Structure 1
Amino acid sequence: MFDRDKWQEIFSTIRKNKTRTVLTGFSVATGIFMLIFLLGAGRGLRNGMISTFSQDATNSMQIYGGRTTKAYKGTPEGKRIQMVNADFLTLKKSIEKLDVISAMSYIPGAETISYKNNFGNFNVSPVHDTYKEIKNFEILKGRFLNQNDLKEYRKVVAIQDEVKKVLFPNETAINKLININDIKFKVIGVFHQKSFDDNSRDIYIPITVAQKIFNNNDYLQRISFTLNDLSVEESKDIERQITYKMAEQHQFSREDKNALWIQNNIENSKTFASLFSAIEMFVWVIGTFTIVLGVIGVFNIMMIVVRERTKEIGIRKAIGASPRSVVSLILMEAIFITAVSGYFGLIAGVGLLELINYFDLIYKIYPPAAIYFLNPQVDLGIAVGATIVLVITGALAGFFPARKAASIRPIEALRDE
């Protein structure tokens, strides 16, 4: 039942001790604010990293040729390992649990791309049709490359939406002809892909066409593939198998770590998952300690309140107040200070996270590195739950001083100076 007299007394006490109450409430609000903000920032970091690294399928691997650092069978160190079509075909047949595989070639010389009076320098990447299943991107218009494009040597391209903005700012790109090093290619699709920075502007063409008309022989820049249902240990076994197979074909030492560079996204995704879990645990520890400090502040202020009101409590008990009423008075004050402070801390934390999201979406004011920090947010259930826990701990912080107040004997309280 609502006890008006008790609440009047609580507000009267708070008004008499404004500075002390504000400082205590500030410590509690800071605790819940820091917890909410840190949790949101941790989630933002997780979202950013996941978004960035989700450019490639998490069950994928990429192979790049390097340079040897060890002499092998009469071949001096420093030999460049240049992958070719034969490597692609060998790996396609030999890799266990292979899902899809694609190679990427390159175009020698400058990549000058134009349409009418619009020009730009873009990344032109010759690939297989399966590349879209390895590189996560979304087809916005048209389609991606297919098997017929490769078999029939069709001069077609799929362009990124950023490329479309430059070459076709005011018209549809599909079925238009663009010039790549003075050779015309038909645009068959427009896609969007996540990128590390704003300079990612890609164009994909059939690898067979590039190797035929741009005179780059059968050289490959990298080989990418995805695997079916593999553990991290199994993926490392695949790495060793690839290294041994390539060492046999290109005549370099199996122990030469620099001859090939293999990016294992299966292992990387597990590593990042563990890292994010550790970050979230660290955030919880820091936030919890901050809240504990705020609760200690509530405990201290309630002890001071009990000490200052010893004589008043003695008089109250002498005229018939029950221990229960004394305990409830102290508890109500502790819970009120904790709840109000926690609420303001919660609102401030969530508000700051929403403000960050607002400026990111509307004004795009983040620096390029902020791609690693995306959509900071905190689960509403966690936020409310943390506030409830704070109120409960605040009640416990007030309980012990309240119990001490209830145990005061009236005659001793009246003698207190």
Structure 2
Amino acid sequence: MFDRDKWQEIFSTISKNKTRTLLTGFSVATGIFMLIFLLGAGRGLRNGMTNVFAQDATNSMQIYGGRTTMAYKGTPEGKRIQMVNDDYLNLKKSIEKIDAISAMSYIPGAEIISYKNNFGNFNVSPVHDTYKKIKNFEILQGRFLNEKDIQEHRKVVAIQDAVKEVLFPKEEAINKFININNIKFKVVGVFNQPSFDESSRDIYIPITVAQKIFNNNDHLQRISFTLNDVSLEESLDIRQFITYQLAAKHEFSPEDKNALWIQNNIENSQTFTSIFSAIEMFVWIIGIFTILLGVIGVFNIMMIVVKERTKEIGIRKAIGASPRSVVGMILMEAIFITAASGYFGLIAGVGLLEIINKFDLIYKIYPPAAIYFLNPQVDLGIAMGATLVLIVTGTLAGFFPARKAASIKPIEALRDE
């Protein structure tokens, strides 16, 4: 039941010690503010990194050739490992749990891309039609490469939306022909894909066409594939299998870590999840300790309040006030100071995150970092958790001073100087 007199008494006590109360409340508000902001910032960093890594399927692996750093069977160190079509075909046959596999080739020399009077520098990547299953593409118009394009050596391309804006600023791109090193390719699709940087502008062509007309033989730059229902341990076994298989064919030591670079996104995604879980835990620890510093301040101020009001409390008890009512009065004051201060800290933290979101401040301050920091926010569960922390800490801050107040004997209180 609402006790008006008790609340008037609490506000009267606070008003007599405004500076002390404001400083104590500020420390509590700062603790909650730091907790909310750091948790929101951590979520923004997680969202950004998730978006960056989303360009590759989380169940995918990529293989790149490197250079040996160990002599092996009479071959000196420094040998370049050049993957070829046979490597792609052998892996496709030998790995049972492969879902989709695609190789990527390259075009030797400079790439000159144009349409009428529009020119641009773009990344031209020869791939198989299955590459779409490995990369996270969103087809905006038309289609991606298909199996017939590969088998029939069709001169077709799928272009990124950023490429379309340069080459086709005022017209549709589908079924138009662009020039790649003076060879015409028909545009069959426009897509969008997540990327590490905003300057990424990709064009994909059939790998069979590139190897046939751009004179790069059967050399491959990368082999990518996705796996079906594979655990982390199985993915590590597959990585080892690939290493030994390619080592036997290209004659390098399986122990040479630089001969091949195998990117295991199954392992990376689990590592990524573990790292950000640890970061969130660390943020909670920092935030709670910051709140505790504020709670210590509330504890101290309530101890001072009890000391200053010793005579008053003694008189109350002498005229019949129960220990419970004394405890309730002190607890209510402590909880009110903590809750009110924490509420302002909560609102300030959420408000700052909303401002960062609304006005895209990270991009304006430091554009390269914007891709790694996306939609910082605090969900309802975290806000409720912060509220629970406030209630518990406010109660703890007032409990011991309240117990001390309840134990005051009226006669000793009246003698207190």
TM-score (norm 2): 0.97
Q: Which segment drifts farther, 356-365 or 181-190?
A: 356-365
1:211-360 aligned within 5 A: 211-360=211-360
* 3-state SS in 2 of match to 1:129: coil
Residues 362, 369 of structure 2: 8 Å contact kept: no
1:97-117 CA-to-partner distances (Å, cap 9, x unmatched) read 111100000011111111122
Partner of 2:386: 386
- Give, in angstroms, the shift of residue 255 of structure 1: 2.0
Whether contact under 8 Å (2:353, 2:377) holds in the other structure is yes
Within 2, Cα distance between the matches of 1:364 and 1:151? 47
Could you say what secondary structure the match of 2:130 adopts?
helix
Q: Which residue of 2 aligns with 1:401?
A: 401
Distance (Å, rounded) in 2 between the aligned partners of 1:73 and 1:339: 73
Q: Which deviates further from its counterpart, 222-231 or 63-72?
A: 63-72
The residue identity in structure 1 corresponding to 2:285 is V
Counterpart in the other structure of 1:129: 129
The residue identity in structure 2 corresponding to 1:89 is: L
Alignment-derived partner of residue 164 in structure 2: 164
Match of 1:87 in 2: 87
Give me the whole-angstrom Cα distance separating, in 1, the residues matched to 2:196 and 2:416: 70
CA distance in 1, matches of 2:362, 2:188: 32
1:394 to partner: Cα distance: 0.5
Which runs of no fewer than 5 residues in structure 1 stay unpaired?
none
Q: For 1:372, what is the secondary structure of its paired residue?
A: coil
Cα deviation 1:322-362 (Å, max 9, x = unaligned): 22222221111111111110100100111111111112289
Q: Which residue of 1 aligns with 2:413?
A: 413
* Contact 1:32/1:387 (8 A) holds in 2: no
Does structure 1 retain, via aligned residues, the 8 Å contact 2:138–2:191?
A: yes
Aligned to 2:111: 111
2:153: which partner in 1?
153
Shift of 1:155: 1.0
- 8 Å CA contact retained: 1:342, 1:391: no
Residues 178-233 of structure 1, C-alpha deviations (whole Å, 9 max, x = no match)? 11111111111111111111111100011011111111111111100111111222
Question: Which residue in the other structure is 2:56 paired with?
Answer: 56
Q: Which amino acid aligns with 1:193?
A: Q
> What is the Cα deviation at residue 77 of structure 1?
1.9
Deviation at 1:136, TM superposition (A): 1.2
- Over the aligned positions, Cα root-mean-square deviation in angstroms equals 1.5
What per-residue deviation string (whole Å, max 9, x for no partner) do you get for residues 71-108 of structure 1?
22332221111111111111111113111100000011
Q: Distance in 1 between matches of 2:57 and 2:363?
A: 30
Q: What is the CA–CA distance in structure 2 between the aligned matches of 1:98 and 1:165, rounded to whole Å?
A: 36
What amino acid is the match of 2:216? N
Q: What code does the residue aligned with 1:210 have?
A: A
Aligned to 1:188: 188
Does the 8 A contact of 2:362 with 2:373 survive in 1?
no
Q: Which range moved further: 352-361 or 185-194?
A: 352-361
Name the residue aligned to 1:70: 70
Structure 2 counterpart of 1:9, which letter?
E
The answer as to whether partners of 2:67 and 2:80 remain within 8 angstroms in 1 is: yes
The 8 Å contact of residues 359 and 365 in structure 1, kept in 2 or not, is answered as no
**CA shift in 2, pair 1:33/1:243, >3 Å:** same
User: Does the CA contact (< 8 Å) of 2:113 and 2:120 recur in 1?
Assistant: yes
> Shift in Å at residue 401 of structure 1?
1.0
Partners of 1:408 and 1:82 lie apart in 2 by 86
CA distance in 1 between counterparts of 2:62 and 2:148 reads 25
- CA contact 1:25–1:338 (8 Å) conserved in 2: yes
**Match for 1:110: what amino acid?**
A
SS at match of 2:102: strand
The residue that corresponds to 1:100 in the other structure is 100
- Kindly indicate whether the alpha-carbon contact (under 8 Å) linking 2:44 and 2:377 is maintained by their aligned counterparts in 1: yes
Q: What is the letter of the counterpart of residue 57 of structure 2? A: A
Report how far residue 393 of structure 1 moved: 2.1
Q: Which moved more, 1:315-324 or 1:118-127?
A: 315-324
* TM-score of the superposed pair, with normalisation by structure 1: 0.97
Task: Look up the equivalent residue of 1:267 and give its one-letter code.
Answer: E
Paired AA for residue 281 in structure 1: M
Identity rate, percent: 85
CA distance, structure 1, for counterparts of residue 329 and residue 81 of structure 2: 80
Matched, 1:43 2:59: no
Amino acid of the residue matched to residue 298 of structure 2? V
CA displacement 1:23-82 (0-9 Å, x = unmatched): 111111111111111111111121111111121111111111111222223322211111
The residue number in structure 2 matching 1:11 is: 11
Equivalent-residue separation in structure 2 for 1:362 and 1:223 (angstroms): 35
Partner residue, 1:33: 33
2:400 is paired with a residue whose SS is helix
**Partners in 2 of 1:119 and 1:372 — Cα distance?**
30
Q: Structure 1's 363 and 220: CA in aligned 2 closer, same or farther, altered over 3 A? A: closer
Q: Aligned pairs, how many?
A: 417
CA contact (8 A) 2:363 2:369 kept: no
Q: Which amino acid aligns with 1:140?
A: L
Structure 1 contact 360–366 (Cα < 8 Å) conserved: no
Counterpart contact for 1:96–1:238, Cα < 8 Å: no
